[in-house]
Amino acid sequence: MQAFEMLVAEILEAEGYWVRRSFKIGLTKEEKVLIGRPSSPRWEIDLVAFKPSHTVLAVECKSFLDSPGVTLSDVQGGRYATRYKLFTEPTLRKVVLEALARDLVQRGLCIEHPEVRLALAAGKVRGVAQELRDHFDQQGWILFDREWLVQKLRALADGGYENSPALMAAKLLLRGTIEPQQRAT
């Protein structure tokens, strides 16, 4: 969903990242054979975010706002594992992320030997979100879940003016609202 990707990109940009959307990665014939997809076109990462440092984020975006959401079992190879290929296929992940680093360096977009970290932006998580966070931490991945998104949108709402639909929506919906924990009392 392009709108969700744009929202996540704007948040990351506000965090100081440079973001490329729908980043295509060229794989060699040997790499395509290695991942079991010899006729695969260029691999595409939803968002590639980087700061002038060694860290590059390869972000897959799944809003799933009107669906059951991301589940721990699926990113561990469950029923919908094909939606999360980079998370469920270790060889594919290794090849694609190494090719991403190579492409970024060759294009002059980052310094030599970047640390590429896989991330998932999920608008909705089904089940215990902490279990999914723990799994991502164990794997060295990053999870941008609803809690993270809301926190970052609140920060945008409290910030200065930018000509951005995401920022305008955040300001309209969140500026001056009472924190959720205060509403319950």
Mean pLDDT of 1-21: 89
In this predicted structure, the answer to whether residue 148 has a pLDDT above a threshold of 80 is yes
- For position 70, what pLDDT does the model report? 93
In this predicted structure, the answer to whether residue 153 has a pLDDT above a threshold of 70 is yes
- For position 3, what pLDDT does the model report? 87
Sorted by where each starts, the structural domains of the chain and their CATH numbers stand as 2-151 (3.40.1350.10)
- For position 22, what pLDDT does the model report? 93
Q: Choose among 92, 95, 12: nearest CA to 57.
A: 12
Mean pLDDT of 133-145: 96
- For position 154, what pLDDT does the model report? 87
> What is the share, in percent, of the chain residues with pLDDT greater than 90?
58
- Ranking 30-34, 38-42, 70-74, 97-101 by mean pLDDT, the lowest is 38-42
- For position 1, what pLDDT does the model report? 53
Q: What is the pLDDT of residues 74-119, one digit of tens each?
A: 999 888 888 999 999 999 999 999 999 999 999 888 888 899 999 9
- For position 58, what pLDDT does the model report? 96
pLDDT, greater one: 41 or 57: 57
In this predicted structure, the answer to whether residue 23 has a pLDDT above a threshold of 90 is yes
Beta-strand pair 115-122/142-144: parallel
| C-alpha gyration radius of the chain | 18
Binned at pLDDT 50, 70 and 90, residue 144 comes out as: very high
- For position 100, what pLDDT does the model report? 95
Report the chain's mean pLDDT, rounded to a whole number: 88
Residue 151, both tokens: 């926190």
Q: Choose among 122, 8, 119, 118: nearest CA to 71.
A: 122
Alpha-carbon span 181 to 185, nearest angstrom: 7
Residue 3, both tokens: 């709108």
- For position 185, what pLDDT does the model report? 45
